[in-house]
Structure 1
């Protein structure tokens, strides 16, 4: 009787264990069918190599490796002395060019106003001079006739001859002045050309000042975004050329690049929720959302993509990089995470599981 009771208890335990195992396996199968995971994933982010736009000696370094900086903060400074001198020289040249332009412009404006008046005045003077000469010529002719007949003295004839000669010379002078005054349009055009040339000189000098100001401004290397400084490669006193890498800025804009197998992405789509475990900090439970898929496999964009047009071919399951945006990170986590850190993302391909 006791043996029968023991056997019944044993059977109940066995049945319960079988049901429990079946339930666990069924739950695991059901749950695993709702998620896709990979360990081929890492933190990714924007990195910017900071370099100067001008050459010179590094005068100041305001940051250390791994230091947090903010957008617009000065990281390093190239010695600005030479560029300050260039700016002063350019400003002096601009002032000289501006003064020459202002003087030429004033002269041009004065010429444009006075030239027509000079023509009118020269015409009136010429008319008066020609009238005086005609009268003197008549007087000379009359005196010559009278002198031949003995009706006037030789002295009076000489005076008439002298008067005619003087008035004729004056008329010729005024005629020349009128011709010069009538050439005013050419003079105005030449003056305008000079003004335009000097104006171009001013523009060129202004451009030189602007460039000198930019060069002076570029002696300060500033952080383009919030982030951390890494791989600083220079010290104060080092000579650098424009474009020399000085350090790298790792921005706080981080995401995950997960390389899923091509047979895993069938049910993954943008908007799927993701749970992320960081290898370095396994206690953290980060979350995110699938953002996009790379338009091609990882191997296709590698330095040496695979060439399958050969006699020997082995099919290899390819991996598709998937970008996963992280949800907002606490400041402490943002400071500890960086590109390249290994993570394990789990994508929930059906809603309601995360």
Structure 2
């Protein structure tokens, strides 16, 4: 045995075997290569990439920004020719003014109808007074005429006056009813006029919205991608003009399910960025995905087969980049990073704003 060990070939084979065993133990994190640090290269910088699109159609009249420019919230990005929409607003405002005038005329008609009712009541009172006087005259002359004291012409004249006064009362009562109906008609039509005014006001508001939508502005601070809009281009609702990338970024690391035991929200994370000459940034775990990545795929795997082979699934872990680091401003969505998590490190409390509670993690079988 000792003679074999003295042979160079046998020594090389022995060292190679020991190296292979050590490599296997390291790959499977078996003693003596166990470590509390978990690492993955399946990690990328993420961010909110907002695609800016118009809500209406028209020709592009102004593009005051350039590719990859930094913009502020409210800054004009693209302007669509607004002449048609300005005229539509003027038309809607004119219609609104006309409907308001019709409504004001309705109030004036109400006043006129109310005055007409008062006049009809006065005419009815006058007719009743004349009726009472004519009836009194007829009541005096009728017995005299029956006795032959009064002349027949006086009796006929008194009776005619009485009947005429009675008809005048009926006419005055009908006039009063007509005045009341005129007021009721005016009040009944007002609801329609008010609804028309409300519709015209809505049309003006919509026209103002359309006019404002001819100006596509930045919803928040950030940087622009490539500008797809061109001066004079005809665009329609939903056309992709440009993309805005806000300054808020984070990292999504896809760890194997065998690496998650012991990870907690709030544990410190070291982020190594390939694009920054392997520079390192500090971060911490925010929360864990509710399911493995395969559950969110378009075509979900079906493992109910006879030749099943167990494959370790990956779970997404959202990692926040700690503030106050100069290199953090250079991170862009889509960059590749390497993430290392020390599961032995103490975790600081992290509030899950969506659920309104503190997230623990996978330690001890507690769900995220």
Smaller-chain TM-score bracket: 0.7 to 0.9
- Check if 1:295 corresponds to 2:290: yes
- Cα distance, 1:187 vs. partner? 3.3
- Check if 1:340 corresponds to 2:334: yes
Scaled by the length of structure 1, the TM-score of the pair is: 0.80
Match of 1:3 in 2: none
- Cα distance, 1:294 vs. partner? 0.6
Deviations along 1:317-339, whole A, 9 cap, x unmatched? 111111000012556642x3211
Q: In 2, are the aligned partners of 1:139 and 1:160 still within 8 Å (CA)?
A: no
Match of 2:127 in 1: 126
Q: In 1, are the aligned partners of 2:78 and 2:229 still within 8 Å (CA)?
A: no
Match of 2:14 in 1: none
Match of 1:230 in 2: 225
* Counterpart Cα distance in 1 of 2:335 and 2:97: 58
The answer to which of 159-168 and 93-102 deviates more is: 159-168
Deviations along 1:15-55, whole A, 9 cap, x unmatched? xxxxxxxxxx9xxx899613111111110111111111122
1:20-59 equivalences in 2 (<5 Å)? 33-59=35-61
Equivalent in 51, 56, 61 of residue 63 of structure 2: 61
* Counterpart Cα distance in 1 of 2:45 and 2:177: 83
- Check if 1:192 corresponds to 2:187: yes
Q: In 1, are the aligned partners of 2:265 and 2:284 still within 8 Å (CA)?
A: yes
Relative contact order higher in (CA < 8 Å, ≥ 6 apart):
1
Match of 1:102 in 2: 104
Match of 1:21 in 2: none
Aligned length: 318
* Counterpart Cα distance in 1 of 2:303 and 2:187: 73
Equivalent in 178, 197, 201 of residue 202 of structure 1: 197
- Cα distance, 1:219 vs. partner? 1.0
Deviations along 1:205-243, whole A, 9 cap, x unmatched? 111111111111111111112111114222111111112
- Cα distance, 1:71 vs. partner? 1.6
Deviations along 1:238-268, whole A, 9 cap, x unmatched? 1111122211111111000101111011121
Q: In 2, are the aligned partners of 1:90 and 1:212 still within 8 Å (CA)?
A: yes
Deviations along 1:167-195, whole A, 9 cap, x unmatched? 64354134212222145544332221111
The two structures, once aligned, show a CA RMSD in angstroms of 2.9
* Counterpart Cα distance in 2 of 1:113 and 1:172: 24
* Counterpart Cα distance in 2 of 1:239 and 1:30: 67
Change (3 A) 1:264 1:47: same
> Which structure 1 residue ranges, 5 or more long, are not aligned?
1-24
Change (3 A) 1:68 1:329: farther
Q: In 1, are the aligned partners of 2:281 and 2:328 still within 8 Å (CA)?
A: no
* Counterpart Cα distance in 2 of 1:307 and 1:72: 48
Equivalent in 256, 277, 281 of residue 276 of structure 2: 281
1:1-354 equivalences in 2 (<5 Å)? 33-112=35-114, 115=117, 117-118=118-119, 120-134=121-135, 137=138, 161=156, 165=160, 168-328=163-323, 330=325, 333-334=328-329, 336-351=330-345
Scaled by the length of structure 2, the TM-score of the pair is: 0.77
Match of 2:9 in 1: none
- Cα distance, 1:137 vs. partner? 4.4
* Counterpart Cα distance in 2 of 1:346 and 1:321: 14
Match of 2:3 in 1: none
